[in-house]
Structure 1
Amino acid sequence: MGISYDEFKDAIQDGARRRQLLNRDGRPFFVLLSQQFSRAELEQLCDTATAIRRLDRHRDGREFLLSILRGHRIMNLFAQPSTRTSQSFMAAAEKLGATVSLVSDLRTSSFAKGESVPDSVRTLSSFFDTIVVRHPDDDFATQAAWALHRSQRPIPVVSAGSGKSQHVTQALLDLYTLRYSFYEHGGVDGKRLVIVGDVARNRAARSLALVLTKFRPGSIHFVSPQDFEPDDELLGYLRRHEIEVEVTNELEGLLRERGRELDAIYMTRLQKEWDAGGEAGQPKASADDLDADDRYVLRSDYRLLIREDCVIMHPLPRINELPESWEDHPGFVVWRQVRNGMWMRASVFATIHGAAGEIRARARRLGLLDTD
Structure 2
Amino acid sequence: MHIPPARRFSPYLPFGENKESAWYGKDILTVKQFGVDDLNYIFGVANEMRGMVKRVGTFDLLKGKILANLFYEPSTRTSSSFTSAMERLGGSVIPINEVKYSSVSKGESLADTVRTLECYADVIVLRHPEVGSAALAAKYARKPVINAGDGIGEHPTQALLDTFTIFAELGSADGLTVTMLGDLKYGRTVHSLARLLSLFNVKINYVSPDILRMPQEVMDEVSEKGIPQQVCDRLEDVLPQTDVLYVTRVQKERFEDPANYELVRHQFVVNPEIMKLAKSEMIVMHPLPRVGEISMDFDEDPRAAYFRQMEYGLHVRMALLAMVLGKA
TM-score by length of 1: 0.79
- Greater C-alpha Rg: 1
Picking from 158, 161, 167, the partner of 1:173 is: 161
**d(CA) in 2 for partners of 1:70, 1:299:** 44
1:339 paired with 2:323, answer no
Picking from 107, 111, 119, the partner of 2:104 is: 111
**d(CA) in 2 for partners of 1:253, 1:269:** 20
C-alpha displacement of 1:239: 0.8
Superposition map of 1:58-137 within 5 A: 58-59=55-56, 66-137=59-130
Picking from 140, 150, 170, the partner of 1:162 is: 150
Residue of structure 2 equivalent to 1:251: 235
**Structure 1 residue runs of 4 or more that deviate by more than 3 Å after TM superposition:** 288-291
Picking from 263, 272, 282, the partner of 2:252 is: 272
SS of 1:355's equivalent?
coil
C-alpha displacement of 1:290: 8.9
**d(CA) in 1 for partners of 2:103, 2:282:** 48
Residue of structure 1 equivalent to 2:23: 27
Assess, with a 3 A threshold, how the Cα gap between structure 1 residues 290 and 49 changes in structure 2: closer, same or farther.
farther
Tell me how many residue pairs correspond in the alignment.
308
- Report the identity percentage: 33
**d(CA) in 2 for partners of 1:116, 1:319:** 34
SS of 1:328's equivalent?
coil
Match for 2:73: what amino acid? Q
Match for 2:211: what amino acid? D
Residue of structure 1 equivalent to 2:221: 237
Picking from 181, 192, 212, the partner of 1:228 is: 212
**d(CA) in 2 for partners of 1:213, 1:147:** 31
Q: Deviations over 1:39-97 (max 9, x none)?
A: 111121111111011112224xx5xx622111001100011111121111000001111
Match for 1:39: what amino acid? V
**d(CA) in 1 for partners of 2:114, 2:275:** 48
Residue of structure 1 equivalent to 2:13: none
TM-score by length of 2: 0.89
Residue of structure 1 equivalent to 2:265: 292
Q: Is contact 2:206–2:231 with CA below 8 Å preserved after alignment?
A: yes
Match for 1:163: what amino acid? G
Residue of structure 1 equivalent to 2:12: none
More helix by share: 1
Q: Is contact 1:73–1:129 with CA below 8 Å preserved after alignment?
A: yes
Q: Is contact 1:273–1:290 with CA below 8 Å preserved after alignment?
A: no
C-alpha displacement of 1:292: 2.4
**d(CA) in 2 for partners of 1:268, 1:157:** 26
Q: Is contact 1:272–1:290 with CA below 8 Å preserved after alignment?
A: no
Residue of structure 2 equivalent to 1:10: none
Match for 2:207: what amino acid? V
Q: CA RMSD in A?
A: 2.0
**d(CA) in 2 for partners of 1:304, 1:37:** 36
Assess, with a 3 A threshold, how the Cα gap between structure 1 residues 291 and 229 changes in structure 2: closer, same or farther.
closer
Match for 2:180: what amino acid? I
Q: Is contact 2:209–2:264 with CA below 8 Å preserved after alignment?
A: no
Assess, with a 3 A threshold, how the Cα gap between structure 1 residues 221 and 146 changes in structure 2: closer, same or farther.
same
C-alpha displacement of 1:291: 7.1
Q: Is contact 1:197–1:224 with CA below 8 Å preserved after alignment?
A: yes
Unaligned runs of 5+ in 2: 1-19
Q: Is contact 2:285–2:305 with CA below 8 Å preserved after alignment?
A: yes
Q: Which has the higher contact order (CA 8 A, sep 6+)?
A: 2
